[in-house]
Amino acid sequence: MKKTFHASNRRAFIKKAGLAAAGISVAPYILPSGRLFAPTGMRSSEHVVMVAFAGGVRQQESVLQRYLDDSQGEPYPGNIMYNIFDGTPPENKIVFGTGTGGLNPIPSILSQTIESQGTIFREISALSAGHFGGLNSLVQGSTVTTQGLKQRPINPTIFEYLRRHGGYSATDVWFVGNGIGNSTPLLNHSAHADYGAAYAGNFFAPTVTFGSSGNQFMADAKIYHPENELTPMYKLKTFLDLQFQSLTTAGGGLGNTEDEKQNIKAFMKAMYAKVSDGTLDLPPVTDNGDLYTMGFAVEVLKWFKPAFMMVNLSAVDSCHSNFSNYLAALHRADHAVGHLWNSIQTGIPELSGQTSIICTPECGRNLQPNNILDQNEWLAFDHSDSNSLRAWTAMAGSGIPAGLSVGSEANPVGRVSDSMMTVADLLGVKPEVQAAGMIAPGTMSLLDQI
């Protein structure tokens, strides 16, 4: 039968062919690293650590160094975060240290404060007065009003931006959580269709993973021979998966390669052994969960030497019911940061001199107290008013100007979401993050605001 080729068909063919040619010409190229395009930003730091500090921090007791002066009506100012900020500690009514009543302040770890080594943004705006919203603004660079607890971030996280656009591997980006409450484990990747689990950061909540439960169920894991045992086991698993995937859409995962998985398992084995032997690289004082979390974060840095690690501290949230404990936790969060930065500079040669640190509270805390009194008859503070939207950022290290102070109480500069964009800037993916268009309006790198 003779096939007729109508003019309309010809037009359709030419149109489709044209579209296909155009598609081919603009199609992304898969680079050896797995990313689609080479990142267009300039990388100014080899490694970045970001500390989500540390569960709702009032300006008054942190960057403003007013101690009891602006909270309990007692005229005793002073700096209880002397690893991060310059300033003299309080001399009276000491309750934040160690020993009975917290009378003994923890000595400073750093010989030079983060402030003197880097740049302080003294007054920035938080995007949320809550922890989860605040943490989301730190990892996403935005907050979405429909974002709820028990829900993955709606917009991509910094982990995904780095992996998708920067070509970083799964073990190059880490999120070390303070625990598994408040949906913290959900923050290592978003539910965004173009990003998601395949670009996630690796995650541990080490106080759980390597705590008593983890030790009970995971520490006794067998080590299989990589060639004689694991290789055939994975081959058979691959066959089984291929059979199943032929009819289903199962899959997913963080995109750790098999080598990366073996490396993570070896790390876990080593951590269980270190916990058992008492040889973890912990801060000098380890009397709360944040300090243990930071000890494990340092171990992650030592083992994987990642390009980016975010660590979340949260013990200062005790301020809801106990102001004295809040002061102690704030002092310890500073101690944890001191240990982190000291370990990077003196204990991990591959990171020393090539790493930046960024510390930002996810949100502030109220101006007025609630009516809960603690053991010292001091009032506690929640977080919901405009004072809860006040925060600061301290940063130092590679690519960060030293000795700068930006903004003030009367002149706020920057926002919490800028920390994420600063990480993107330091690691060379800022243009891609901006182009993706999913950050809060006005969010920009803090380096562009100096």
Partner 1 sequence: MQGFKHLHMATRMCGLRSIGMLLVVCALASSGCRPEPEVSFELQGLEVTPGFADKDRLKTNEQWVAIVHTNLFQTGMPANDLYNVARVFESIGDQSIAREVLLSNFFNQPDLTLTPTDEMLADPDAFIDATYLRFYTRFPTQAERTFVREFILNNPGMTPELVYMSFGLSEEYRYY
Output the smallest distance, CB 203 to partner 1, in A.
3
CB of 33 to partner 1, least distance (A): 20
DSSP string, 227-282: IIIIHHHHHHHHHHHHHHHTTS---------HHHHHHHHHHHHHHHHHHHHT----
For residue 21 the two structure tokens come to 């040619």
> In the complex with partner 1, which residue's Cβ is closer, 37 or 224?
224
Among residues 1, 24, 250, 410, the one that binds partner 1 under rule CB under 8 A: 250
User: What's the min distance (Å) between Cβ of 237 and partner 1?
Assistant: 4
- Nearer to partner 1 by Cβ, of 208 and 379: the residue is 208
Nearest-approach distance from CB 110 to partner 1, in angstroms: 30
Pick the closer one to partner 1 by CB: 191 or 219.
219
311 contacts: CB under 8 Å, gap ≥ 6? 49, 50, 51, 52, 175, 176, 293, 294, 297, 340
Q: Taking contact as CB under 8 A, which single stretch among the options 61-69, 89-97, 169-177, 354-362 is the one that binds partner 1?
A: 169-177
Q: How far apart are CA 320 and CA 379, in angstroms?
A: 9
All residues at 6 or more sequence positions from 407 whose CB lies less than 8 Å from its CB, including other chains: 121, 122, 123, 124, 413, 414
Query: Based on CB atoms, which residue is closest to partner 1, 265 or 302?
Result: 265
Nearer to partner 1, 175 or 323 (CB): 175
> Whose Cβ is closer to partner 1: residue 306's or residue 397's?
306
Pairing outcome for strands 390-397 and 118-125 = antiparallel
Binder of partner 1 out of 232, 353, 401, 442 (CB under 8 A): 232
Among 185, 369, 407, 412, which residue sits at the site for partner 1 (rule: CB under 8 A)? 185
Beta carbons of 396 and 118 less than 8 angstroms apart: yes
Least Å from the CB of residue 42 to partner 1: 29
Cis-peptide into 391, omega within 30 deg? no
Q: How far is the CB of 443 from partner 1 (least distance, A)?
A: 25
Of 62-70, 133-141, 250-258, 336-344, the window that binds partner 1 (rule: CB under 8 A) is: 250-258
d(CA 412, CA 37): 36
Give least dist CB 266 to partner 1, A: 11
Taking the C-alpha atoms of residue 197 and residue 181, their distance in angstroms, rounded to an integer, is 20
Nearer to partner 1, 103 or 221 (CB): 221
Residue among 248, 346, 371, 411 that touches partner 1 (CB under 8 A): 248
Residue from 31, 92, 239, 375 binding partner 1 (CB under 8 A): 239
180 binds partner 1 (CB under 8 A): yes
CA–CA distance, 402 with 423 (Å, rounded to integer): 17
- Residue for token pair 């799964």: 170
Q: For residue 217, what is the enclosing H or E element? A: helix 212-218
- Does 241 sit near partner 1 (CB under 8 A)? yes
For helices 418-426 and 131-140, give the axis angle rounded to 10 degrees: 30
CB nearer partner 1, residue 218 or residue 379: 218
Which candidate, 150, 157, 146, 138, places its Cα nearest to that of 55?
A: 138
CA distance 106 to 284: 9
Window 253 to 292, contacts with partner 1 (CB under 8 A)? 253-254, 256, 261, 264-265, 268
Q: Binders of partner 1: how many residues, by CB under 8 A?
A: 53
Q: How far is the CB of 240 from partner 1 (least distance, A)?
A: 4
- For partner 1, the closer CB: 21 or 250: 250
Nearest CB to partner 1, comparing residues 213 and 375 = 213
Pair of tokens at residue 208: 């759980």
3-state secondary structure of 294: helix
Among 18, 75, 226, 251, interactor with partner 1 by CB under 8 A: 251
Q: Is the dihedral of CA 56, 61, 62, 64 positive or negative?
A: positive
Q: Please, is 225 exposed, middle or buried when counting C-beta atoms within 10 Å of its C-beta (0-12, 13-18, 19+)? A: exposed
Between 232 and 284, CB nearer to partner 1: 232
- Based on the shown chain and the rule CB under 8 A, indicate whether residue 294 belongs to the binding site for partner 1: no
Task: Looking at residues 189 to 228 of the shown chain, list those that interact with partner 1 (rule: CB under 8 A).
Answer: 200-206, 208-209, 213-214, 216-225, 228
Helix orientation angle between 418-426 and 158-166, rounded to the nearest 10 degrees: 20
> Would you mind telling me the total number of residues written for the chain in this entry?
450
Q: Which residues bind partner 1 (CB under 8 A)?
A: 170, 175, 177, 179-180, 185, 188, 200-206, 208-209, 213-214, 216-225, 228-229, 232-237, 239-241, 243-245, 247-248, 250-251, 253-254, 256, 261, 264-265, 268
